[in-house]
């Protein structure tokens, strides 16, 4: 019986340390973003992605049937299609950012190949998803 108690105590302490570390990391991230004005940068990036994805076009010129994800016309766009487009743009931006990080001198040498590989993977997904969306829209 003593072994069960020791095991349970060890698991509970490990769990509380993990949850405490995650909570501390989230709190420090939130405070550093608020302290350095990062919320303004995050808002700017969100607005730019939304504009590039076509949210303005989807709101100003709505289509009558919003059930289409890629609306089969070239002049109109649905809200779900704008959400998919924003995901595509965000993946491309993440790929470019990871490629930038892989070339920085401060990046650890072990991480350079990982960053570059992930960047190329993200950029390939970005290109193929963009081409697929254009074909579904009727551009190709």
Confidence of residue 120 (pLDDT cuts 50, 70, 90): very high
Token pair 């969100």: residue: 46
Between these two residues, 137 and 95, which has the higher pLDDT value? 95
pLDDT at 121: 94
Calculate the alpha carbon distances from 1 to 14, 20, 92, 100 in Å. Answer: 20, 29, 56, 56
Between these two residues, 61 and 20, which has the higher pLDDT value? 61
Residues 12-25, mean pLDDT to the nearest whole number: 67
21-25, 72-76, 108-112, range with greatest mean pLDDT: 108-112
Q: At residue 66, does pLDDT exceed 90? A: no
Between these two residues, 83 and 32, which has the higher pLDDT value? 83
Concatenated DSSP letters for 40-107? Answer: HHHHHHHHHHHHHHTHHHHHHS--S-TT-SS-SSSS---HHHHHHHHHHHHHHHHHHHHHHHHH-TTS
Q: What is the mean pLDDT of the chain?
A: 79
Residue 29 corresponds to which tokens in the numbers above? 């991230």
């Amino acid at each position: 019986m003593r072994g069960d108690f020791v095991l349970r105590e060890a698991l509970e302490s490990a769990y509380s340390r993990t949850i405490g570390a995650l909570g501390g990391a989230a709190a420090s991230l939130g405070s550093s973003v608020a302290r350095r004005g990062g919320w303004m940068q995050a808002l700017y990036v969100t607005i730019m992605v939304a504009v590039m994805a076509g949210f303005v076009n989807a709101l100003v010129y709505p289509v009558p049937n919003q059930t289409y994800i890629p609306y089969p016309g070239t002049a109109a766009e649905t809200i779900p299609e704008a959400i998919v487009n924003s995901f595509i743009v965000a993946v491309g931006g993440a790929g470019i950012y990871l490629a930038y990080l892989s070339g920085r001198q401060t990046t650890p040498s072990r991480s350079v190949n990982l960053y570059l590989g992930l960047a190329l993977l993200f950029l390939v997904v970005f290109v193929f998803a963009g081409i697929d969306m254009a074909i579904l829209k009727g551009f190709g």
